[in-house]
Amino acid sequence: MSWNSKEPRWHGENRTNADPASFVINGVEFDRLRYGEGEDDSDLPTCDDCGVPRGRRHVLGCDLEPCPRCSGQAITCDCFYEDD
Ligand SMILES: [Zn+2]
Ligand SMILES: [Zn+2]
């Protein structure tokens, strides 16, 4: 299993909750970072990928959502996300 493929990690229709407030990563629950809270977030008023305004959670699967565990890119980092 590789998280580095181009396949999106999440497929919204397969999840019971399309906008979870937290992720379970490697067995530990982490609050998701909102746009503007990530170290590498831009200064734009809305996310450059999913379009949410600052202070809101990214749309699930957004390229720019930081991983709350490793600060990498949530959709491609090496952390193990439990899906539900
Ligand atoms: Zn986003
Ligand atoms: Zn990570």
46 lies in a domain? yes
* pLDDT per residue rounded down to tens, the chain (84 residues): 555 555 556 555 555 567 899 999 999 999 999 999 998 899 999 999 999 999 999 999 999 999 999 999 999 999 999 975
Residue 19: its pLDDT value, please? 87
77 lies in a domain? yes
Q: State which residues form the domain around 54.
A: 34-84
User: How much is the pTM?
Assistant: 0.77
16 lies in a domain? no
Contact status, residue 54 vs residue 36, Cβ threshold 8 Å: yes
Expressed in angstroms and rounded, the spacing between residue 68 Cα and the centre of ligand 2 is 7
**Domain count within the chain:** 1
47 lies in a domain? yes
* Ligand of minimum distance to the alpha carbon of 28: 2
Residue 59: its pLDDT value, please? 95
21 lies in a domain? no
* Ligand of minimum distance to the alpha carbon of 48: 1
Expressed in angstroms and rounded, the spacing between residue 69 Cα and the centre of ligand 2 is 5
Ion ligand 2: protein residues whose beta carbon lies under 5 Å: 67, 69-70, 72, 77, 79
